[in-house]
Amino acid sequence: MRSIWNGAISFGLVSIPIKLVNATESHSVSFRQIHAEDGGRIRYKKVCELDGEEVPPAEIGRAYEEGDGSMIPVTDEDLAALPLPTAKTIEIVAFVPAGEIDPLQMDAAYYLSANGVPAAKPYTLLREALKRSDKVAVAKYALRGRERLGMLRVVDDVIAMHGLLWPDEIRAPEGVAPETPVSVRDAELDLADALMATLGEVDIHGLHDDYRAAVEEMIAAKAEGGEGVQAPEPGEEQGGGQVIDLMAALENSVRAAREARGGDAVVTELKPRGKPAEGEAEPKKGTARKTTAATKKTAAKKATGAKKSTTTRKKTAGTGAPTRAKAGTEATSTASSPPPPSPPSSSSSSPTTRKKAQARKRSA
């Protein structure tokens, strides 16, 4: 990669020669302006407004425009004479936790490459110190005629630098937040959490620019003599519509995300905690109290009836016990009484009977 700036990192009394390399590149499809009637290329020429002549790049200088339109020329020598210690140096001024850097300040990104063999040792020392401290370095440097703010951090085995905007270049977000007071229900937050959990994590390296791919496909089709890509039908769903029912939109989003990931697409409708769902009537004041009182009265009546029933059963058991016992005894005696006695046998007859029997035997 071609370096765009050569200098050194000032790390206390340690100087590390480095080369600055762009860490990003644009893949956007660029277009040229043409004359729509004949396809001729439209070009811009730098013309002096005083004489109307085109000016070559070598004769073009710079100037500062005053409020009244007058120009104050500024030469390269004027800028070179300014006391700018960071003209060729990335001067580290502090080490801070990465969380203290506002992402709004992030600007262009660069890689810092060690310039030469002697720079390898101090470069590695700074890199390992940043790794172990888990901090980033805040630095000042000069690029393209102005002093800038930067943040140094470690990416793999390379020190990267992010250009930072100065704090006074960040605009306050005044008048940006909704001015209308809005209340968010717990059920809506629950569905939003469910949607976030369903979407889960993503491999950012797998994301790509669909619009650029469509532009390239359209250009390739037109280059082959085609008519390009067909526009979507008016009836097809288009993004950017107004969300009318937020709960329904959240539920549909969760369902669509689960179906896209092959999971369970069943979404249980969540209702607000302690609040009526949308479309349900708000209970009147005092209704809950009346219901609670009625419930308590009903419970008291049931408890009283249970006590009376218990008392009655006890009294009945005390007064009617003999009757039940007698009836039970009679039933038992009837059921278990022995059969009528059989006629007595000879062995069990009386003495008089035995004598008569003996007399009859003798006479016989």
pLDDT reported for residue 1: 76
- Of 113-122, 212-221, 222-231, where does mean pLDDT reach its minimum? 222-231
List all residues 6 or more positions away from 247 whose beta carbon is below 8 Å from its beta carbon: 187, 188, 191, 269, 278
Q: What is the mean pLDDT of the chain?
A: 76
> Average pLDDT in the 60-84 region?
88
Which of 99, 59, 63 lies closest to 79, judged by CA? 63
166: its two tokens:
């100065």
> Average pLDDT in the 203-213 region?
86
The more confident residue out of 171 and 283 is 171
Can you tell me the distance from the alpha carbon of 110 to that of 140, in angstroms, rounded to the nearest whole number? Answer: 14
β-bridge mates for residue 54, sequence order: 47
Which of 90, 93, 89 lies closest to 137, judged by CA? 93
pLDDT reported for residue 256: 82
Is 137 exposed, middle or buried (CB count within 10 Å of its CB: 0-12, 13-18, 19+)? buried
321: its two tokens:
């016990």
pLDDT at residue 348 above 50? Answer: no
CB 109 within 8 Å of CB 65: no
Q: What dihedral angle (degrees, nearest 10) is formed by the CA atoms of 132, 134, 140, 145?
A: 100
Query: Strand runs (DSSP E) across the chain, as ranges?
Result: 3-11, 14-22, 62-65, 71-74, 89-96, 106-114, 136-143, 146-155, 158-164
pLDDT reported for residue 358: 65
- Of 202-206, 281-285, 352-356, where does mean pLDDT reach its minimum? 281-285
Three-class SS state of 310:
helix
pLDDT at residue 364 above 70? Answer: no
Q: How confident is the model at residue 66 (pLDDT cuts 50, 70, 90)?
A: very high
Cα torsion angle, 313, 314, 315, 316, sign: positive
For 128-186, the pLDDT digits (tens) are 999 999 999 999 998 877 889 999 999 999 999 999 999 999 999 998 988 899 898 99
- Percent of the chain past pLDDT 90, that is, above it, reads 34
For 304-319, the pLDDT digits (tens) are 554 444 544 444 444 4
List all residues 6 or more positions away from 94 whose beta carbon is below 8 Å from its beta carbon: 137, 138
Q: How confident is the model at residue 18 (pLDDT cuts 50, 70, 90)?
A: very high
The more confident residue out of 18 and 287 is 18
pLDDT reported for residue 109: 95
pLDDT reported for residue 101: 93
pLDDT reported for residue 351: 54
Of the ranges 187-201, 288-302, 333-347, the best mean pLDDT one: 187-201
Can you tell me the distance from the alpha carbon of 277 to that of 353, in angstroms, rounded to the nearest whole number? Answer: 106
Look up the pTM and report it. 0.58
Tell me, rounded to whole angstroms, the distance of Cα 47 from its chain centroid.
55
Q: Which residue is associated with the tokens 């905690």?
A: 273
Q: How confident is the model at residue 214 (pLDDT cuts 50, 70, 90)?
A: confident
Pairing of strands 158-164, 146-155: antiparallel
- Of 40-44, 146-150, 247-251, 290-294, where does mean pLDDT reach its minimum? 290-294
CB 152 within 8 Å of CB 139: yes
pLDDT reported for residue 130: 95
For 246-279, the pLDDT digits (tens) are 778 878 888 888 777 765 444 444 444 444 444 4
pLDDT reported for residue 244: 64
β-bridge mates for residue 3, sequence order: 21
pLDDT reported for residue 195: 86
